[in-house]
Amino acid sequence: MRATVVRRTVLTASAAALALLATACGGGDEKGGSGGGEAAKSDAASSAPAAKALTAAELEKLVIASADLKDHKVVEPGKDDVSDPGTLTVERAECEPVAQALASVPLGKPAASAQRLVTQESEAAKKGMPDLAELTEKEAEEAMLDSLDITKTMTSLRSYDADGAEQTLSALREAGKKCAGGFGMSADGEKQQVTKITEEKLAAGEDAVAWTVGTKMDDTSAETKVVVFRQGTTLAAFSSFNIAAITRGEAFEQPTAVIEAQEAKLG
Burial label for 187, CB within 10 Å (0-12, 13-18, 19+), is buried
Q: What is the pLDDT of residue 138?
A: 79
Share of the chain above pLDDT 70, in %: 81
Residue ranges and CATH numbers for the domains of the chain are 56-266 (3.40.1000.70)
Q: What is the pTM of this model?
A: 0.76
Q: What is the Cα–Cα distance from 17 to 14, expressed in whole angstroms?
A: 5
Taking residues 56-60, report their average pLDDT. Answer: 97
Taking residues 58-62, report their average pLDDT. Answer: 97
The pLDDT-based confidence of 186 (bands split at 50, 70, 90) is very high
Q: What is the pLDDT of residues 8-23, one digit of tens each?
A: 222 232 333 223 223 3
